[in-house]
Amino acid sequence: MSAPRMTRAMPTVASRRPAGSRLLSCLALLGACLLSTAGGLRGADKPAAAASSPSPAVAIVGGKVFPVSGPVIEGGTLLLRNGKIEAVGKGIAIPSDAQRIDATGQWVLPGMIDSRTHLGLWEVDLAPATRDEDEDTDPITPQMRVVDAFYDETENVPVTRQLGITSALTTPGDENLINGQSALVDLSGGDLEQVLIKFPVAMHFSLGEPPKARYGARTQLPSTRMGSAALIRSSLLQARDYLTKWDAYEQKKLACDTAKPSKGKGKKKDEKCPAERPAVDMKLAALSSVLKGDLPAIFRAQRMDDILTSIRLSEEFKLRLILSHAAEAYKVADLLAAKRIPVIVGPITTQPDRIETLGAIYENAARLNGAGVKLAIQTDRTNDARTLPWEAGLAVTYGLPWDVALRSVTLSPAEIFGVADRVGSLEPGKRADVIVTTGDPFQPLTQVKHLFIRGVERSLRTRQDDLADKYR
């Protein structure tokens, strides 16, 4: 396989409407998003909303089917019904009313998952008004939730979808030490309630150059790696104390509620009842979920020393560690494998263009896999998140087995994010997120012919196609 040829994407245009009406629409959508997420989405998985009526059955027949969770099926059939995969294999009975898609000579695969983007939070690079991924006023912002800024009508979704990506982790930025909570969304283009697969997915931490460069320039903590670790440790200690206070309150409240009243008129159950409720702190409450193990901690760390610091912090506070970026992870691959720490590696195209990535090599993913580390591949892009299959293809060029590369953009991220029961492979009962391609999806000349999300075929046309037709 030859190294993928990377191409510069056309600029994404954010709107078909005039700027004034666009701004009003943005404000209205943001208000609606805040209202919808304030209650129903808090702290739990949120399955995508069901379609208003049952969708017709779809049979994709004759293709080379890659379930990912099992062996390849030559000339297989995939039956989709009501947003789910009903059957996969050979000799499957096709309902008479099913839409039939002949995939002879084509490949049938699960839709790909990008493990880090800012989709829905970042629209136009040079227009700050369209960027909501980064809160730059405080190095500790665990209370930030991407669902509170998700823009439903982003033009980046259809652009990304065109190359076979059907879902993505949308994350806060990485220039604070603790950046906030991410969400996994599908790329159907619907509103937040429809596209949300899981929220929150993880709490995002950052080590290395981004936070110390931002706050060091302000003569503010952190300006060094020592300061970064100290401030994260201090925040987690405060959250631990906060959690202890709330645990004590809950125990005392239960004791007060179940205690028998004291004898004598007007006497209380106990002099310490009712229990005094601690004050709510949004930052510490958000971090408490990480300390309790309800949320994993995704640490962005490039250099080996930052990777080791993230391991020390995680072991000190018993965090469920997931590494992200990890340009020098290959240097400690055996350690990561022994500790069963998954790595969201990439972009594979990371260059040794700054101090913390001087050790970047294209073989990073292959070496991690060789040591037995569970891998996912990310683009860490938004306008160009469509490059995910080419990132995976480059990893294959430099030694990553092809089947592992496919798993690293499908089932492995689903396992890492705790949604493998719903997405990531072609199995009966899972969401019907499926792509049909003309061949190897990691080759730049391969075309996506059909793309289904929740069993509904989605358009592969984008705003860029409209502009190309208009000005051709």
What SS3 state is found at 99? strand
Tens digit of pLDDT for each residue in 130-141? 999 999 999 999
Q: Are 294 and 411 part of one and the same domain?
A: yes
Interacting residues of 53 by C-beta distance below 8 A, sequence separation 6+: none
pLDDT digits (tens, 9 = 90+) for 83-110: 999 999 999 999 999 999 999 999 999 9
The rounded mean pLDDT for the chain is 89
- 428 shares a domain with 408: no
Number of domains the chain is built from: 2
Say whether pLDDT at 34 is over 50. Answer: no
Q: Is residue 16 part of a domain?
A: no
Pick the range with the lowest mean pLDDT from 7-11, 202-206, 263-267.
7-11
Q: Phi and psi dihedrals of 205, rounded to 5?
A: -115, 155
pLDDT bin (cut points 50, 70, 90) of residue 255 is: confident
- Is the peptide bond preceding residue 342 cis, with omega within 30 degrees of 0? no
Is residue 303 domain-shared with residue 428, that is, in the same domain?
Answer: no
In a domain, 28, yes or no: no
Please tell me the predicted confidence (pLDDT) of residue 69.
Answer: 97
Strand partners, 60: 78, 101
Q: What is the pTM of this model?
A: 0.87
Tell whether 73 is covered by a domain: yes
The answer to whether position 458 is within a domain reads yes
Whether 26 is covered by a domain: the verdict is no
Alpha helices (H) in 325-401, listed in sequence order: 333-338, 364-371, 388-397
Residue 44 has pLDDT above 50, yes or no: no
Q: Are residues 184 and 294 in the same domain?
A: yes
- At 34, list the tokens: 């805040």
Nearest to 130 by CA among 29, 215, 210: 29
Assign residue 204 the CATH number of its domain: 3.20.20.140
Task: Check whether residue 373 and residue 414 sit in a common domain.
Answer: yes
What is the sign, positive or negative, of the torsion defined by CA atoms of 264, 270, 272, 278? negative
Q: Is the pLDDT of residue 28 over 70?
A: no
Do 166 and 83 sit in the same domain of this protein?
A: no
Count CB atoms within 10 A of the CB of residue 142: 28
Domain around 128: 114-224+281-421
CATH at residue 85 = 2.30.40.10
Q: Are residues 292 and 203 in the same domain?
A: yes
pLDDT band, residue 45 (cuts 50/70/90): low
Give CA–CA dist 411/426, Å, rounded: 10
pLDDT in tens, 54-64: 677 999 999 99
Residue 56: φ, ψ to 5°: -65, 155
In a domain, 452, yes or no: yes
DSSP, res 18: -
- pLDDT score of 469: 92
254 occurs within a structural domain: no
Amino acid at 187: L
Residue 118's CB is within 10 A of a number of other CB atoms, namely 28
Q: Helix, strand, coil % (nearest 5) of the chain?
A: 35, 20, 45
Q: Do 328 and 438 fall within a single domain?
A: no
Residue 17 CA, chain-centre distance (Å), reads 30
Same domain for 211 and 303, yes or no, is: yes
The answer on 294 and 361 residing in a single domain is: yes
Whether 186 and 306 share a structural domain: yes
Tell me: do 380 and 289 sit in the same domain.
yes
